[in-house]
Amino acid sequence: MSNTSMTRVEETEFIIERIFNAPRELVFKAFSEAEHLKNWWGPRGWTVPVCHVDFRPGGVWHYCMKCEDKNQGDFYGMESWGKGVYHEIVNGEKIVYTDYFSDADGNEAPGAPSSTTTVIFEDADGKTKVTSRSKYDSIEAVKAVMDMGMEEGITQTWDRLEEHLQEIR
């Protein structure tokens, strides 16, 4: 795949950038609508059987990722719930939300690192540059999510987004 992700950590921020071969409006839609998110969110081998999106400031995105890949060993059958609370939305340009680990009822998981994530969408010669900056409370929190496999997981997730965008173009 020609558009590889670039990831880095700066102090308490995890940053990923990528250029997607799709128009900005379509990429933004893929981040903001449940029918798109459930097709690409999560690493390979995981599905999104639950995905509720109330896409407005103050609205909540609540989802469940489930491992369907028997080759992933102990992860097979595991569910991972997450919740995002939207703070700022600039249509086609920016989404700001707080991202939490949660349970099936949307209660935040105690002790799990949360982040405030800003996703920026920019035109790039007919393609779209997406930059996501997730700010954590501490360097230790960033290290915790990196140790959980965040970098590999988000890279696979954005690979799946690129594939989804090509299918719906």
pLDDT digits (tens, 9 = 90+) for 119-167: 999 999 999 999 999 999 999 999 999 999 999 999 999 999 999 999 9
CATH superfamily of 6-168: START domain (3.30.530.20)
Domain ranges of the chain: 6-168
- Let me know: does 32 contact 39? Beta carbons within 8 Å: no
Q: 124 phi and psi, to 5 degrees?
A: -145, 80
pTM score: 0.94
